[in-house]
Every structure is written in C-alpha cells, then in structure tokens.
Amino acid sequence: MIPAFLGLAGPVLGEAERSFFRSADPAGYILFKRNCVDRAQLRALTDTLRSLAGRDDLPILIDQEGGRVQRMAPPIWPRLPAAEPFARLYEKAPISAMEAARLNALAIASMLREVGINVDCLPLLDVRRPDADAIIGDRALGADPMQVASLGRLVLDGLREGGVVGVVKHIPGHGRAMADSHKTLPVVTASDAELADDIRPFERLNDAPMAMTAHVVFTAWDADRPASQSPIVIGDIIRGRIGFDGLLMSDDLGMHALSGDFGARAANAIAAGTDIALHCSGDLAEMEAVAGALGPIGEAARARLDRAMATIVGAAPADSFEDLVAKRDALLALA
C-alpha cells in the first residue's frame, strides 16, 4: 500500500485505471462530481473500489460540505446548506446551532453511506476573516475560534454517528490567506501570537481522526515552505503545539500553490511528515508519477489510518435523511 489517496477519471473505472490501482494499491480514493452520476452508479463504483483493494474499510473520500462545495449535487441529491447559516444561528442560540450542525452532519452521513462513501472532508476549522480571500468565506463556521471549535465538534460527532469519518481542514488554518491556494501560493505574514487564534479550533479538536493540511506559507513558522511541505509546521505546530495525532493528509497536490513535478510534490509532503499525499485530478500520468515517488506507507501512518477507520465500525444513522433534514431546518429557522 502506498501513502496516497487518489482520484478517478470518471463514473466507471477504465481498464488502464483498474490495472494501475491494482498495482499501486493506494491507501484510499477521493471522488468528485465527475464520478457521481446517480445512486446506483455511485454505489457500483465504490463497491468496485473495495473489491479491487480487498479492504472493507477502504477509505473513500468526498468533499460534501454543502453550499459551494457539494460533489453529490442536485438534481440527483438534495442541496445542502453552507456553514454560514449555522454560524448565524450560533450568535442567537448556540445550543440550537450545535444541534442543527450535528443533525446536518448526520444527514450528510446518511447520503454518503447509501452510496458506499465513508470519509467526508468536513468540517472546516478555518477562522473566517472579513479581509481575506473569499475561498473560505461562507464555508467557515464563524469568526470566533471557540464558536468554530464548538460547531466543528458537533459536525464530527454527527458524521461519526452516521458511520462517516470526518476530516478537519485546513490545518493549521487557511482563514487569513489573501489568495486562493487553488490558484497561487498564499503567504500569511501574521505573527505567532496572532496565529494562536487560527490554531485554537484545531487544538480543541486535536483528537479528530483525520486532518487535511493547508498549502499556505506562514512566515512566522517557515518562510520558505507551505505548511503541507514543511517539517517545521508539521512537526512543531501540527503534531507538537496543536497536539494532533490523527491521520494527516495533504491538500490536493494538483493545486497551483505547489510547484515542481507531481512526484516531487508527493515526496516532499511525505518527507515533511504528512501521512498521506492527496491527488485529486484522476489524471493517470500524474498518478503514476505520484506512485513512482512513494515507497510503502509507514507503520505510524498505517496505524493512524486503521485507527481512524475503526472509529465508525458499527455506526449508522438511526433516523431517515428526511427526518434529520426536517429537524435541522426547524432549528435553522430560529435564525
């Protein structure tokens, strides 16, 4: 098994993909809108991936946040709210907002488990900043670190109750970035004291099963490398100061924040202390470069992966999706 989560080109596996995946044996997969046609197709695809890997607990990831980021989208799947309505409700009724966030996450888990997906890249713990780039914006759970942590905890709980592993992102925080890391490399010049607010939600949720790093340079910690490729940020800040000991994956290696060939991008992320290199495009040549640059997954990373997937063994939603959404909407209406 190699320490990579890889994307797929389309709604079914091609023969070249199938052969490559069988040989490379990635630790897991990530799905996008191009892979999601309808319920029957998507369930068949996830069943195929598990059969190919020979692992019932194979991590199959998706970004199903709601709002602007929803890979399983209408008209086949219902539209989900962004994080902002939960943040607004929290300002009036914190307990109601937390319960609404839990119900929403449980409803998302119900959607995902129906089609064989068991990991959601949610919640964002990025603290919203009004003067920052809009890439976070309404995806954030608020501008107060403790509010973000409180709502984020209930999102993790709801996903887990529904049998889905949550991924906190983008550790150690993307909220101050003045640029979109999909397009270019953001450089944050805030001081260490100022960044204490950004990492506080991650400190409070440092027992999360999985986390995704940020392709952001923090000059107070490492002026030369983005957090996702910095042994200083990963070792001293994420593992040390934040105290996160779950499975740590990079953000997508295909984002324009990074430079160099894909093999180097993957190798640099793993060498810095990341457990899993994430590659999303489904481009076979790029995936071959990633796989060629990686050795077998390390013992510590494999243990973290197994531990994360074990958190959802036997879990499943007790209520229907419709009932969960009705309860969620009744609470959101209070705002």
Q: Rounded to an integer, what distance in angstroms lies between the CA atom of residue 260 and that of residue 17? A: 24
Which residue is catalytic, options 63, 120, 133, 251?
251
Pairing of strands 247-252, 276-279: parallel
Dihedral of CA 255/259/262/266: which sign?
Answer: negative
Residue with tokens 């470069």: 289
55-87 burial code (b ≥16 CB/10 A, e <16): eebbbbbbbbbbeebbbbeeeebeebbbbbbbb
Which residues are CB-neighbours of 248 under 8 A, at least 6 positions away? 171, 210, 211, 212, 213, 234, 238, 273, 274, 275, 276, 304
DSSP reduced 3-state for 46: helix
φ, ψ (nearest 5 deg) of residue 65: -85, -40
Known catalytic residue: 261? Answer: no
Known catalytic residue: 252? Answer: no
Which residue is catalytic, options 38, 47, 182, 261?
182
Q: Rounded to an integer, what distance in angstroms lies between the CA atom of residue 328 and that of residue 10? A: 33
Catalytic positions, please? Answer: 182, 251
